[in-house]
Structure 1
Amino acid sequence: MPIANVPAAMITAPGSGQGKSMVTAALARLHRNAGRNVRVFKHGPDYLDPMVLEVASGNPVYQLHPWMTGEYECRWRLAEAAQTADLILVEGSMGLFDGSPSSGDLAKLAGIPALPVIDAKGMAQTFGAVALGLASFDPELPVHQVIANKTGSSYHGELLRESLPEGIRLLGAIPRNDSMNIPDRHLGLFQAAEMDDLSDRLNKAAEVLMSAGLDALPKPVSFTFETPSKPEQCLVGHRIAVARDAAFSFIYRANLDLLTAMGADLVYFSPLKDSEVPVADALWLPGGYPELHAQTLAENRTLLASIRACHQAGMPILAECGGLMACAEELEDKSGKVHQLWGLVPGRATMANRLSGLGLQSLETSLGSLRGHTYHHSSLATPWQPAARARKQAGSEGEAVYYHRNLVASYFHGYFPSAPALVAAIFRAEQVRFS
């Protein structure tokens, strides 16, 4: 793959809640509106931010994480994007140095400078101390510019600029503005498809950034890497029905790409609207928000009968997180109302007011290690005993994995490219030994 020099930056922050997601999206829209081809990536296991970033940039968004997706894939995806992009942005996760590997680790791996967004509300000269701390914490990671967010006035912006030490420049000061806000809920941002005015919001946010002087391109970065070999064509002629609608939308784009590259024919359906599962050889029920649509799912009795028939016939089914919840006999929503759902898994899924599972995990099998993550606000009470358990990144016991009549169900979300042979075996109902 030839070397490509493309302006690039890792948009990060001292911690969560600083506004980096909206700043990244607004930057993407600003440069897209200027006629540039913008490619955006997201560090870590996140479904919701990429949905917004795709609308902002007009291009597909992929996850990058040196542990989950692998260092090789991180470098390759960036180098591939650089062949046609005018600008590459990577949105970090949490704080710049939080997690292992952190956003800072990815920035160093890719050779991309970090551009922190710092919430300056209620802050003056201390802004410089925060910037200095971020810039000096890891000498191998360049931090030459910062963005001040939620400033109160032009004078406030000047105070922040003057507080910065030598070698760190204020790229821009973003004033407090309603256009820089996107609604969220318990799992994060609203889904892009739920916001009819999202494009207008992004255009207005881009105008705010333009007024703040944030239209300059970052310095070019050199990208080069060899394209990986194609996966084995082990799903040729295999049709996989994928649930995809407002209730089931947590899908890594790379997972779809892999299934297609292995020869699978993907057909989508909506459990909220459709009356039956399309004719297929296997079924994938990804995560999402079934708890917000439990009443509609419960009332779609023809679809319920179709899914039960698939299971009774022994069709391979993969149910992840929200898919697992919908497969339970009952789902208790946040108001305490109990809904009768698909009944493939005995027991009840119950929503909680706090996180019940969070973090990177892997599922060890005879066909490889499937890496991924868990993030949920519910729990499942079931008489079933797990066939296996995923392992947390630190090595301790993670999410239960249930297996019954070719149904594989878990709160664990898998990143398919980390274990292609295992994924193919699940969708072909082949023997898998869990470690």
Structure 2
Amino acid sequence: MAIRHCPALFISAPASHQGKTTLSAGLARYHRQQGRTVRVFKTGPDFLDPYVLEQASGHTVYALDLWMNGEDDCRQRLYQAAAEADLILIEGSMGLFDGTPSSADLAQLFGVPVAAIIDAAGMAQTFAAVAHGLATFRPGLPFYGVLANQVASSRHAEMLTAALPASLNYLGAVMRQQDMGLPERHLGLVQAQEVDDLEARLERAATQLANTALAQLPPPVAFQPATAPSLPRLLDGVRIAIARDTAFSFIYPANVQTLQALGAELHYFSPLADDTLPDCDAVWLPGGYPELHLAALARAQHSRASLHAHVAAGKPLYAECGGMLYLLDSLTDKQGNSEAMLGLLPGHARLNSRLSALGLQQLQLDGAVLRGHTFHYSSLDTPITPLTHASRATGSGQGEPVYRHGSLLASYLHLYFPSNPAACARLFLP
């Protein structure tokens, strides 16, 4: 297998809320408009940004995380993308050096040059100091340049660059534009399918980036050979029904592909549409926003009856985060509105105004380890004693509880199935 060369760029920033997703999506759209094949990746566990990046680029967006995926998985996905892409973009998470592992760790390991976006609103010459710090903080980090975002005027742009070192590549300015940014809610961005004018926003971002140095392809990066492991057909012929709609949409594409590679037959249904469960051997209720659809879920009697029948028959049901909340007796949103849920897992949950849990965690189950993450604003009250607890990737303290109740297994954890495909298969077997 030969080394593959492909232009690539790592889009990062000094912090969250600097405009990384908007501009990564805009850049993908711009180069796509030029007739180029653009493959985009998202650093770290994230379900919301990838939907926007997918719409911008026209291709599936995969997560890259050195702890959750592992180095081999990240390397294989980048190598495969390099075979078909004219440009690879990787959107970072949080700030460039935040987290363990950080965006900088990923960029440096694979030699992908970093373009740092700095929100310059309320800033002048200090822009140069922040840019200099990002570029020089870690020796050996490939640094491509810096882009100013939220720039008020051409005069403002002059002030931002006045003190910039000549050795630091200035990539240009993106002017402040209210109808270009992406709307947010408590778990992050509003889902792409819910933003009516997303296409217009992507086009505006692409137009702005056409006037920057990012309109030119970055230098090619050498991606080392790597192949995906061949998986045993542990789920051959197993029919898995997956809830998928705007209430249940937090699904890693890599998880779906892992189930398919294991031999599973996948069928989708929508609790919001009150679908009856397809003929299946197992059910997966992924995370999402059930708290935004309480009344519709409470009315979904066909879904309710068929899920009850599934569990009564002793068939496996695996639920993550929002999927677990749907299993409870009731769920209360931030405004205090409560509705009855499925009543398959005793307990109640309430949405809080503050974050309840965030971070990478791993689960040891039946002697095997699966990795993933947690991110939620709700708190759960249940009389069920946890089967076990996950452990945190870093720091001390217990991770998320995992509940087994009859044939169902539920937790706040979002698992990354490729981290242990054999262990993943057991989630869906009796």
Q: Which bin holds the TM-score, normalised by the shorter protein?
A: over 0.9
Is 1:388 matched up with 2:388? yes
Q: Secondary structure at the match of 2:68?
A: helix
TM-aligned CA deviation for residue 367 of structure 1: 4.3
TM-aligned CA deviation for residue 213 of structure 1: 4.7
**Which residue of the partner structure matches residue 23 of structure 2?**
23
The answer (yes or no) to whether the contact 1:111–1:221 under 8 Å persists in 2 is yes
Separation (CA, whole Å) in 1 of partners of 2:61 and 2:298: 33
TM-aligned CA deviation for residue 24 of structure 1: 0.4
TM-aligned CA deviation for residue 159 of structure 1: 2.3
Q: Secondary structure at the match of 1:178?
A: coil
Deviations 1:358-388 (CA, angstroms, capped at 9, x unpaired): 1000001334211000000101100000000
Separation (CA, whole Å) in 2 of partners of 1:266 and 1:244: 11
The answer (yes or no) to whether the contact 2:250–2:286 under 8 Å persists in 1 is yes
Counterparts of 1:19-418 in structure 2, within 5 Å, are: 19-394=19-394, 395-418=396-419
The answer (yes or no) to whether the contact 2:107–2:142 under 8 Å persists in 1 is no
Letter in 1 for 2:279: V
TM-aligned CA deviation for residue 198 of structure 1: 1.2
Q: Secondary structure at the match of 2:221?
A: strand
The answer (yes or no) to whether the contact 1:317–1:406 under 8 Å persists in 2 is yes
Q: Secondary structure at the match of 1:400?
A: strand
- Classify 1:206/1:166 alpha carbon distance in 2 versus 1 (closer, same or farther; 3 Å): same
Of 362-371 and 26-35, more deviation after overlay is shown by 362-371
The answer (yes or no) to whether the contact 1:124–1:163 under 8 Å persists in 2 is no
Separation (CA, whole Å) in 2 of partners of 1:258 and 1:275: 25
Letter in 1 for 2:298: A
Separation (CA, whole Å) in 2 of partners of 1:135 and 1:214: 17
Of 150-159 and 229-238, more deviation after overlay is shown by 150-159
TM-aligned CA deviation for residue 113 of structure 1: 1.1
Q: Secondary structure at the match of 2:96?
A: coil
TM-aligned CA deviation for residue 275 of structure 1: 3.2
Separation (CA, whole Å) in 2 of partners of 1:289 and 1:141: 38
Letter in 2 for 1:405: G
Aligned residues: CA RMSD: 1.1
TM-aligned CA deviation for residue 161 of structure 1: 2.3
Letter in 2 for 1:408: L
In the alignment, structure 2 segments of 5+ residues that lack a partner are none
The answer (yes or no) to whether the contact 1:367–1:421 under 8 Å persists in 2 is no
The answer (yes or no) to whether the contact 2:349–2:380 under 8 Å persists in 1 is yes
The answer (yes or no) to whether the contact 1:276–1:303 under 8 Å persists in 2 is yes
**Which residue of the partner structure matches residue 433 of structure 1?**
none
Separation (CA, whole Å) in 2 of partners of 1:328 and 1:366: 25
Separation (CA, whole Å) in 2 of partners of 1:51 and 1:58: 10
Deviations 1:236-289 (CA, angstroms, capped at 9, x unpaired): 110000000000000000000000001100000100103311000000000000
Q: Secondary structure at the match of 1:346?
A: coil
Separation (CA, whole Å) in 2 of partners of 1:266 and 1:376: 27
Letter in 2 for 1:69: N
TM-aligned CA deviation for residue 136 of structure 1: 1.1
- Classify 1:144/1:54 alpha carbon distance in 2 versus 1 (closer, same or farther; 3 Å): closer
Separation (CA, whole Å) in 1 of partners of 2:132 and 2:142: 12
Separation (CA, whole Å) in 2 of partners of 1:229 and 1:376: 32
Deviations 1:323-345 (CA, angstroms, capped at 9, x unpaired): 00000000011111110110111
Q: Give runs of ≥4 in structure 1 deviating > 6 Å.
A: none
